[in-house]
Structure 1
Amino acid sequence: MESFLFQASVYLLAAVVAVPLAARSGLGSVLGYLLAGIVIGPILGFASETSDLQHFAEFGVVLMLFLIGLELEPRALWDMRHRLIGLGGLQITLTTLAVMAGGMLLGLAWAPALAVGLLMALSSTAIVLQTLSEKGLMQSNGGRSAFSVLLTQDIAVIPMLILLPLLAGATAPMLAPDGSIQRVTSGHGAGIDNAHGATMSLVDGLPGWGVTLVTLGAVAAIILGGVYGARPLFRFINAARLPEMFTAVALLIVVGIAFLMLMVGLSPALGTFLAGVVLANSEFRHQLESDIEPFKGLLLGLFFITVGAGISFETFFSAPFIILGLALGIMAIKGAVLFGLSFLFGMRGRDKWLFTLSLAQAGEFGFVLISFSVQQNVVTGVLGERLLLVVALSMLITPLLFILYEVLSKRLIDKDEVQQDDEIDEEGPVIIAGIGRFGQTVNRLVQSSGFKTVVLDHDLKTIQLMRKFGFKGFYGDPTRPELLHAAGIDKARVLVAALDDPAAVLKLVAFAKRIRPDLHVVARARDRTHVYALYQAGADDIVRETFDSSLRAGRYVLENIGLTDYEAAQAEETFFHHDRHTMRELAGLWDPNIPAYENTAYIERAKELEKELETALLSTLENKSDAA
């Protein structure tokens, strides 16, 4: 107990001192954790044995992938498929081949060179995602591309673990302390299970098809459990009014899924990421995030400390120039591959540099693969020690690369950012904010009817395309007050808020009604809840994107199942007017802070209005039939 308390005190004290100093110096928290580990490990010797603690701390990566999954809806993940397969697959393949070629030039046989190429193709999920989130870069194009590659790498660890034992038996040269190449012949290892030690397994002894079925069953269990089992469980726990039980359930989900993935031979991080994606649409998502976040932060910090504490300066000083040269060389190779891919996939400016610099290091999975490769005699023990040091050094250098990115990003300005807002030299009774597929139709109808419009949009390409067709528009952010005043909002009679971003539409409507309560605002809405928010913001007329087209489609259905054209038109008109009345009534009962299923008054009134609609439609059709 005394030893445990002493070690805990040392780690916490090092973090409390080093991390705030590094963060306030602009170096970032990750570098602070790494420096804290170096101080208490190699320098002071308080944390010499870190391997067991590092395995525990790696669970922080699992928690981090779960939280990232919660931020991604399945549709968003599907939209990333080209980056996952194309960008991520090319990065792993090209980096592996490039590092393998470099290893063979240094005298390695093809098998150990391929092994080194595979493990160096991986980057640090922990460092990169933590830093991207910390610096607010996750939603940038470069940040999303980096995340896609990291996710592909996590998936690729599984086939790598299968391939490495097959490489045993080839000649594996190693670097001697004097820098010369030594060749040894390796023998066959004991098998893939030794990479993780003796663990419970659901697939041991099964044939190939059995392993596949069990693995697919585990993945299906996670998906079905998230879709059908999570919500009832969360509601049951929520009814108990015990916050600590919700935290316990959140941890149980993550730990249980991680354990299940280990038992079927998959990456725990991959399994928990999948669970997060499945739960991304859950109303309890934000509660899960708040419960898991503190554990993730502490464990990730502990992981970075153990990386710093595990650096062997004795090994480093035995051949400092060779080891440092290897680390910088591998980072240069990875950087060159990443930079080339950034051109191939159309990244620009700072996104290109963010993608390149953020992924140039080796990753924490490299520690696992190096140890496994040594066990399988794919690489020798001496080479393995140096590779471990190369991985650690590259991770230690990474925060400095992010600092370099910040310096470069201040000098690099994308072309879109160079473009200044247009000077608006016209005014008109109608201002149309947003000239996408929705605003274009509105603008054409109003202008063709003889009325002047002032069109604003923040998409330069759309404005330029619009001008080619003879329609004048002005580039700029329509939510900016000074741009609206320049467009004549003080004199305009109608404002059309037709922006693609629902949040921007709401912001624009709220501002316009605040400075011009008499201004008539026509707003584009994404869905019903967006309609409610716009009503509360003061919009006068609200048009849902797909409502009118869906209503027209419904009319065609009625015409083709027995109603006359006139009857179908009357049913459409009745439905339209009733829906407008319904939306206004429900908007008064809607509360964004209360989930819809818990808002009793809202639910009851919605049921009543639906019955009123059925009665109104039947009455309309009967009256028309009687009149006929």
Structure 2
Amino acid sequence: MFDPLIIAIALACGLISRAVGLPALIGYLAAGFVLNKFHIQAGTLLESLANIGITLLLFTIGLKLQPRELLKPKIWGTSLAHMVVMQSFFLGILLIAGFMIPGINLDFTGALIVAFALTFSSTIFVIQVLQDKGEMSSKHASHAIGILLIQDVAAVLFLVASKGALPKPEAILLLFLFPLRGVIQQLLGRAGHGELLTLFGFALALGGAHLFELVGVKGDLGALFLGALLAGTQKSKELSRRLIQFKDLFLVCFFLSIGLAGWPTEGMLLVAIILGLLVVIKPVVYFPLMTLLHTPPRTALLCASAMGNYSEFGLVVIVLAGKAGWIDMQWGSAISVAIAVSFIFSSSLNLRAHSLYRRYHSFWLNFESSKVTEDTPDTEGARIIVLGMGNIGTGAFDTIAEKHGRAVLGVDINAQKLQEHSRVHRRVVSADASDPDFWYRVNLAEIDLVLIALTHHEENMLVANMVRELGYDGKIAAVVRFNEEAKELEANGFSAFNLYEHAGAGFASHAAQRL
């Protein structure tokens, strides 16, 4: 039975971790070690829930796969080149540690596996950090997630290979899942937006994993495959949002189970701390690789800062390798400590990333490639800027453009949206609203109004404050959904438009016109 005491300790450690500015999952790892210290054991339910968490993780990763984005050289090139460099670096460190530190039982094959696990950066950590900062719709967020997805696919291929057996001949029948994509999408549409959609998501993830297991293919690949089959649709995005909380909750059990495996020995603990500190090498390698492949310096710096950590997915690789007998099971505990140390480092770096870019702006621009310079957006003649060209931003743009025409400029980073806007002759440019380099190229003295219609209130505040800090003293207005958000904007000298308050007035006006 799942002991309520385990839940209470996990909750307490998670709250403490969050209170000191660290991700809650560091607390869950610590909770596992605390439980082990007091000889508190969990039943088979913990392991079952942990396995469900991993399956949902892979399924939601599949839902986010966008082949068009992943096939860009600056995405897959950065990811693969970084993995090769890090694999070589950590392999050398581990082999040296094996000679110098007693008690480390690691041959060359084991060192290869551990080094491979350390090449990954944490998808969960990066997404959580970006969400907390309101930057999920930024260019550096989409760039980082693309690189992480390539790494996750590489990890899944390892998980498939770790099964150690050839698939059954019946596995060829899995190809018939491709023609069923349309049918599954229609069923998803009929599932609505409530609990039935969530249940459908669980059925697809767990059912896909079980189906692949039946034909001798690792179930993790099945979950990823089913998710990728549905990627690229609005319904897949909604399904991902509904499943993410369940995924995170079940992954708590996975982190607890790692800690419950025990604290590493003295020698292994020393190795874990050394590896944790060496994570500083990751962003140092990420940044030049990205700029070399024509990523703007600011995007590269913010990406590198977010990805300067080790991954929970690497922990999955280590645990499976331990169960297969390729490495000592103690490496699971050692890597979990290294992950915790890396998260502490990455949290600190992320808090300072924006200020580091602004403070040493001229230095970072030395890494800017000529191709990036050529892609500078044209903002000449703009007097009104609309940030975020979703439904709200587009409505505002069209209304103002009726009077001001080409003086209105729309800004967004979604290539598909921009193509649609350009097709109907809206003046739009591709840029990240939170990027100071974009604003350096705008003549702020000529701008009369900035309208902010981005996805998150945190991002709206970030952009509004940044534009003001860069010297703009004109009018700034932003969309809000709640009164406390409006109060925060107005307290900082910005205008707020509450969607929910004005929706009723708009609805009444529409109804009156109809009558």
The alignment's TM-score, normalised by the length of structure 1, stands at: 0.53
Alignment of 1:363-374 (within 5 A): 363-374=311-322
Looking at structure 1, the residues matched to 342 and 392 of structure 2 have their Cα atoms a distance apart, in angstroms, of 35
On the 8 A contact 1:349/1:414 being kept in 2, the answer is no
Residue number in structure 2 paired with 1:447: none
Residue number in structure 2 paired with 1:552: none
Residue number in structure 1 paired with 2:493: none
Residue number in structure 2 paired with 1:257: 208
Judging changes above 3 Å, is the alpha-carbon distance between structure 1 residues 279 and 510 closer, same or farther for their aligned structure 2 residues? farther
1:324 is displaced (CA, Å) by: 1.9
1:11 aligns with 2:6: yes
1:80 aligns with 2:67: no
On the 8 A contact 2:198/2:243 being kept in 1, the answer is yes
Q: Which amino acid aligns with 2:256?
A: I
Alignment of 1:304-383 (within 5 A): 304-307=255-258, 309-310=259-260, 312-313=262-263, 315-317=264-266, 320-329=269-278, 331-347=279-295, 351-374=299-322, 378-379=326-327, 381=328
1:27 aligns with 2:25: no
Q: CA RMSD in A?
A: 4.4
SS for the counterpart of 1:91 is helix
Residue number in structure 1 paired with 2:334: 390
Unaligned runs of 5+ in 1: 165-190, 194-202, 419-458, 465-472, 481-498, 514-518, 535-541, 547-592, 594-628
Alignment of 1:37-116 (within 5 A): 37-39=32-34, 41-46=35-40, 48=41, 53-54=46-47, 56-70=49-63, 76-81=66-71, 82-106=73-97, 107=99, 110-116=108-114
On the 8 A contact 2:23/2:125 being kept in 1, the answer is no
Judging changes above 3 Å, is the alpha-carbon distance between structure 1 residues 295 and 417 closer, same or farther for their aligned structure 2 residues? same
For residues 136-168 of structure 1, the C-alpha deviation after alignment (integer angstroms, 9 at most, x for no partner) is 34444443333233322232235545777xxxx
SS for the counterpart of 1:224 is coil
The higher-RCO structure (CA 8 Å, 6+ apart) is 2
Judging changes above 3 Å, is the alpha-carbon distance between structure 1 residues 86 and 324 closer, same or farther for their aligned structure 2 residues? same
On the 8 A contact 1:71/1:280 being kept in 2, the answer is yes
Aligned-pair identity in percent equals 20
Q: Which amino acid aligns with 1:506?
A: G
Residue number in structure 2 paired with 1:225: 180
For residues 466-495 of structure 1, the C-alpha deviation after alignment (integer angstroms, 9 at most, x for no partner) is xxxxxxx35776138xxxxxxxxxxxxxxx
SS for the counterpart of 1:478 is strand
On the 8 A contact 2:156/2:220 being kept in 1, the answer is no
Residue number in structure 2 paired with 1:149: 147
Looking at structure 2, the residues matched to 14 and 346 of structure 1 have their Cα atoms a distance apart, in angstroms, of 47
Q: Which amino acid aligns with 2:164?
A: I
Judging changes above 3 Å, is the alpha-carbon distance between structure 1 residues 265 and 83 closer, same or farther for their aligned structure 2 residues? farther
Looking at structure 2, the residues matched to 237 and 293 of structure 1 have their Cα atoms a distance apart, in angstroms, of 18
Looking at structure 1, the residues matched to 423 and 110 of structure 2 have their Cα atoms a distance apart, in angstroms, of 63
Residue number in structure 2 paired with 1:478: 385
1:509 counterpart (355, 377, 398):
398
Residue number in structure 2 paired with 1:436: none
For residues 384-424 of structure 1, the C-alpha deviation after alignment (integer angstroms, 9 at most, x for no partner) is 51x22331012212331332123322422359999xxxxxx
On the 8 A contact 2:78/2:286 being kept in 1, the answer is no
SS for the counterpart of 2:180 is helix
On the 8 A contact 1:15/1:36 being kept in 2, the answer is yes
On the 8 A contact 1:119/1:370 being kept in 2, the answer is yes
Alignment of 1:191-590 (within 5 A): 192=164, 204=167, 206=168, 214=171, 217-218=173-174, 220-226=175-181, 228-234=182-188, 237=191, 244-263=195-214, 268=219, 271-280=222-231, 282=233, 284-285=235-236, 288-289=239-240, 291-307=242-258, 309-310=259-260, 312-313=262-263, 315-317=264-266, 320-329=269-278, 331-347=279-295, 351-374=299-322, 378-379=326-327, 381=328, 384-385=329-330, 387-413=331-357, 461-463=376-378, 473-474=380-381, 478-479=385-386, 504-510=393-399, 519=403, 544-545=424-425
Q: Which amino acid aligns with 1:60?
A: G
Q: Which amino acid aligns with 1:299?
A: F
Looking at structure 1, the residues matched to 144 and 218 of structure 2 have their Cα atoms a distance apart, in angstroms, of 19
Looking at structure 2, the residues matched to 247 and 162 of structure 1 have their Cα atoms a distance apart, in angstroms, of 27
SS for the counterpart of 1:462 is coil
Q: Which amino acid aligns with 1:233?
A: L
On the 8 A contact 2:309/2:343 being kept in 1, the answer is no
For residues 7-59 of structure 1, the C-alpha deviation after alignment (integer angstroms, 9 at most, x for no partner) is 1x1233234434344434432333343344344x244443x458873463243
On the 8 A contact 2:13/2:27 being kept in 1, the answer is yes
Q: Which amino acid aligns with 1:478?
A: I
Looking at structure 2, the residues matched to 150 and 10 of structure 1 have their Cα atoms a distance apart, in angstroms, of 35
1:124 aligns with 2:122: yes
Unaligned runs of 5+ in 2: 100-105, 363-373, 427-502, 504-515
Judging changes above 3 Å, is the alpha-carbon distance between structure 1 residues 160 and 510 closer, same or farther for their aligned structure 2 residues? same
Looking at structure 2, the residues matched to 340 and 417 of structure 1 have their Cα atoms a distance apart, in angstroms, of 16
On the 8 A contact 2:384/2:409 being kept in 1, the answer is no
Looking at structure 2, the residues matched to 51 and 358 of structure 1 have their Cα atoms a distance apart, in angstroms, of 35
Judging changes above 3 Å, is the alpha-carbon distance between structure 1 residues 70 and 122 closer, same or farther for their aligned structure 2 residues? closer
The alignment's TM-score, normalised by the length of structure 2, stands at: 0.63
1:252 is displaced (CA, Å) by: 0.7
Looking at structure 2, the residues matched to 350 and 409 of structure 1 have their Cα atoms a distance apart, in angstroms, of 9
Looking at structure 2, the residues matched to 319 and 280 of structure 1 have their Cα atoms a distance apart, in angstroms, of 41
Looking at structure 2, the residues matched to 370 and 254 of structure 1 have their Cα atoms a distance apart, in angstroms, of 23
Looking at structure 2, the residues matched to 83 and 266 of structure 1 have their Cα atoms a distance apart, in angstroms, of 31
1:93 is displaced (CA, Å) by: 1.9
Larger radius of gyration: 1
Looking at structure 1, the residues matched to 47 and 296 of structure 2 have their Cα atoms a distance apart, in angstroms, of 37
Looking at structure 2, the residues matched to 404 and 337 of structure 1 have their Cα atoms a distance apart, in angstroms, of 18
Looking at structure 1, the residues matched to 285 and 214 of structure 2 have their Cα atoms a distance apart, in angstroms, of 35
Looking at structure 2, the residues matched to 291 and 90 of structure 1 have their Cα atoms a distance apart, in angstroms, of 34
On the 8 A contact 1:50/1:310 being kept in 2, the answer is no
Q: Which amino acid aligns with 1:92?
A: M
Residue number in structure 2 paired with 1:576: none
Judging changes above 3 Å, is the alpha-carbon distance between structure 1 residues 58 and 336 closer, same or farther for their aligned structure 2 residues? farther
Judging changes above 3 Å, is the alpha-carbon distance between structure 1 residues 273 and 406 closer, same or farther for their aligned structure 2 residues? same
On the 8 A contact 2:276/2:341 being kept in 1, the answer is no
Looking at structure 2, the residues matched to 407 and 244 of structure 1 have their Cα atoms a distance apart, in angstroms, of 37
Looking at structure 2, the residues matched to 159 and 23 of structure 1 have their Cα atoms a distance apart, in angstroms, of 33
Q: Which amino acid aligns with 1:253?
A: L
Looking at structure 1, the residues matched to 128 and 394 of structure 2 have their Cα atoms a distance apart, in angstroms, of 32
Looking at structure 1, the residues matched to 60 and 269 of structure 2 have their Cα atoms a distance apart, in angstroms, of 39
Looking at structure 2, the residues matched to 375 and 274 of structure 1 have their Cα atoms a distance apart, in angstroms, of 24
For residues 289-309 of structure 1, the C-alpha deviation after alignment (integer angstroms, 9 at most, x for no partner) is 4642442232133333334x3
Q: Which amino acid aligns with 1:312?
A: G
1:543 is displaced (CA, Å) by: 7.7
343-352 or 292-301, which deviates more: 343-352
